[in-house]
Amino acid sequence: MDGSRTEKMKSRIKLLLVDDHPVVRRGISSCLAQQEHLAIVGEASDGLEAVRKAKELLPDIILMDIDMPLMNGLAVTELLRRELPNVKVLILSMHSNTDYVLRIVQSGARGYVLKEASLEELVRAIETVDSGKTFFSPDVASVALNQFVRRPGEGPTPSQLTNREKQVLIHIAEGLSNKEIASALGVGVRTVETHRERIMDKLNIHSVAGLTKFAISKGLIILREENNGTH
């Protein structure tokens, strides 16, 4: 009996819920409690507690609010990406403006769901992120894409980059560090640094935010993993 319960826990997606509003945490908890394949293993009410509990509980996914005391959700996400790279972060927020989307992509979060989203969308986001993909609420994606995709004929184009430079650019836009990119591509860190410098020179873009915006606007990274209700 004990063994089967342990097996069941292992097969569940372990969630850490981080929000400074107890009512919000209670609401999300009660909704997700009905999902047998999900298990909330802990809760935190501020950024520092989130970091501590993440290290202690090692959840599969952290449902993270942005606006919190002591340390905001994006700072926590950036810290955890370096210290616990296997823990995925799904941002839950009320904000749907473009600047937030850019900052969330850069922070290393794997997805972004608005707090007003349906339970079905939240569960789909958790499952998508758990499978290794990214998930952005369609509403958020459309806000961002409307902002980014303008005057496509102007400015630099991806055709100026080699295939390897495009790969490096995509990884930069996904929030990976030089070391993480080097590991993913099987090359040295110095090689990645050289590619990064060439990309910035060729595109005349000299910030990670600018490179991320370029990658999204040219369709090199997809903000929306959502279609026709299929998984």
- The tens digit of pLDDT for each residue in 125-173 reads 999 999 888 888 776 666 555 555 544 445 667 778 888 988 899 888 8
Provide mean pLDDT across the span 204-224: 78
Its sign, for the CA torsion 24, 226, 124, 4, is negative
Provide mean pLDDT across the span 197-206: 87
Output the CA–CA distances (angstroms, integers) from residue 26 to 118, 128, 144, in the order listed.
Answer: 16, 23, 30
Q: What is the pLDDT of residues 64-75, one digit of tens each?
A: 888 877 788 888
The CA distance from 9 to 37, in Å, is: 8
What are 18's strand-pairing partners?
44, 64
pTM of the model: 0.60
The residue whose two tokens read 């449902």 is 63
Strand 135-136 and strand 13-18: the pairing is: unpaired
In this structure, of 1-15, 86-100, 183-197, 209-223, the range with the lowest mean pLDDT score is 1-15
User: Is the confidence at residue 225, as pLDDT, over 50?
Assistant: no
The CA distance from 172 to 164, in Å, is: 12
User: Is the confidence at residue 203, as pLDDT, over 70?
Assistant: yes
The CA distance from 126 to 203, in Å, is: 35
Average pLDDT, the chain: 81
pLDDT score for 137: 77
User: Is the confidence at residue 222, as pLDDT, over 70?
Assistant: no
Q: Which CATH number describes the domain made up of 158-217?
A: 1.10.10.10
User: Is the confidence at residue 98, as pLDDT, over 80?
Assistant: no
Sheet (strand 38-44) strand order: 38-44, 13-18, 61-64, 88-93, 111-114, 135-136
User: Is the confidence at residue 229, as pLDDT, over 90?
Assistant: no
- Where does CATH 1.10.10.10 sit in the chain? 158-217
Tokens of 145: 């894409």
CB-CB contact of 82 with 39 (8 Å): no
pLDDT score for 151: 46
Q: Which CATH number describes the domain made up of 2-147?
A: 3.40.50.2300
